[in-house]
Structure 1
């Protein structure tokens, strides 16, 4: 199972979930809003992720956030999208700073939903 936890109020996050659904190699992805009961139950077991402003990706190999989550998701996408992993040549600290900058501004730039559409 592959589980993607995302901000259900964020337009960018909503678009990203739709895009992953369209480009996933298989249909074994699950998508849950970070504010939903299921996500809260999962995160209760992993308190270190409660305050992270990031998507969270869980699969059989572990739990991933920020750029690591992006790369793990990319492994499960159709070609040519798996090539996203080529960005791993950059230092993780730099990739996570870029991720955090976008995450911090995503609602201002892309807007929000008042309720989760999924």
Structure 2
């Protein structure tokens, strides 16, 4: 996985990154991947207090953040929380921490070595189109969910 260990809020000094509301975590996902869009839709459904913002990787904000952190969209989504970027399984663990409540149960997967978790994640990421397919851009989101996109 890419090294996203830049200083917190470093994207604010990057003129290529559009200004966005970073008072909440931002989940940047592949808007044409059925697994990714479906996952974002599912997260929105269960994030009842709207603690997380969302942005498709295909939009200018998503593209700029991927470029800023040197992440390839086909390798991972991005989670920006407290000005820091997370990818792969560490991002999901951070997301569970942010969402709180029963989501904390998923943090038990942290007992597995990060290298093993990320290899499994990478296997799914590489094959996600083949296994789950593609859809029209953000087709799996409801109109209300599309309203939550930055």
TM over 0.5: yes
| Equivalenced residues, count | 117
Q: What's 1:32 paired with?
A: 55
Pairing 1:55–2:77 present: yes
Does residue 1:65 correspond to 2:87, yes or no?
A: yes
Q: Work out whether residues 67 and 99 of structure 1, in 8 Å CA contact, stay in contact via their aligned partners in 2.
A: yes
Distance 2:135 2:64 in 1: 23
Aligned pairs for 1:1-118 within 5 A: 1-24=24-47, 26-46=49-69, 48-50=70-72, 53-60=75-82, 62-77=84-99, 79-117=101-139, 118=146
Structure-1-length-normalised TM-score: 0.87
Q: Does the 8 Å contact 1:25/1:78 carry over to 2?
A: no
Question: TM-score by structure 2 length?
Answer: 0.70
Whose strand fraction is larger, Structure 1's or Structure 2's? 1
SS at match of 1:49: coil
Task: Give the whole-Å Cα distance in 2 for the aligned partners of 1:50 and 1:109.
Answer: 20
Runs of 5+ in structure 1 lacking a partner? none
Cα distance in 1 for residues equivalent to 2:53 and 2:76: 17
Q: CA deviation at 1:78?
A: 5.1
Quick check: 1:4–1:31 contact (8 Å CA) kept in 2?
Answer: yes
